[in-house]
Amino acid sequence: MTTDNQQDTAAAAVPTRSGFVALIGATNAGKSTLVNRLVGAKVSIVSHKVQTTRAIVRGIAIHDNAQIVFMDTPGIFKPRRRLDRAMVTTAWGGAKDADLIMLLIDSERGIKGDADTILEGLKDVHQPKVLVLNKVDQVRREDLLKLAAAANEVVAFERTFMISALTGSGCEDVMDYLAERLPEGPWYYPEDQISDLPMRQLAAEITREKLFLRLHQELPYASHVETEKWEERKDGSVRIEQVIYVERDSQKKIALGKGGEAIKAISTAARKEISEILEQPVHLFLFVKVRENWGDDPERFREMGLDFPK
């Protein structure tokens, strides 16, 4: 018969593990969807628009005795502008700061374009690396095996996983592996914390997601949302004021929509989700402002958590 004291002693004898796992990949490979899946909560925004993730978002998961800090990095692509360069530099910097790197490849797209460039870049990165093939439910098994073999010929991956971030298939195997692979050590964050993103910033990211989901065909991705005011009210609700920055008057008209229809829909969707996360009523007020060439403003880069490239 096992006593409570014996059970406590056995639990205490199991060492805790913790570490940072960087997810890198081409744009729209499914990194943010996978991070949200592995964490079990929404910590990174998702949209059909490429380059949605701009700065590193950390999602924190507990699995067995391990605390796994996932670093959702911006998609790596061929940069054309200053903002692009900052995002790609941030992604590679996050990879080099991690304990382990997970390369996520869209199985439908395979190794071509940006994915091929990333594989070549990983040759110079010394951290242990894991290959994750996403959307495997859309591809024949023999094609998946060829894809895995081709990637492993370029980079010596420790393990290869085949998953669907959307359905969760194969994700438990990834978590089991990481929980055993990360180094022994104390946890970095409190047990109930799922992200290191300040709530003001997460609220702005949620609004940006709704903006992209509503207007992803019409509005360039070079739009930015900032939370300017956050007031906790006596009735238990929160009053939030946010500004959507665009670069031209024509973009402002698109964001507002005919008769304010678009901005009302964006506000309603964002308010609902922010309220669910905060578990309290939210009064959200959105304003759209034109700031020409905000992509060349160092202050905007700091707001996004990016270094301003020279």
**Residue list for the binding site for GTP:** 25-32, 72-76, 134-137
Q: Which of 53, 122, 132 is nearest to 90 (CA)?
A: 53
44: helix, coil or strand? coil
| Residue owning tokens 């989901």 | 213
Q: How far apart are CA 24 and CA 257, in angstroms?
A: 35
**Pair of tokens at residue 24:** 């890198």
- Binding residues are 25-32, 72-76, 134-137
103: helix, coil or strand? strand
What sign has the CA pseudo-torsion 34, 38, 44, 45?
positive
Q: How far apart are CA 273 and CA 279, in angstroms?
A: 10
Q: How far apart are CA 237 and CA 281, in angstroms?
A: 5
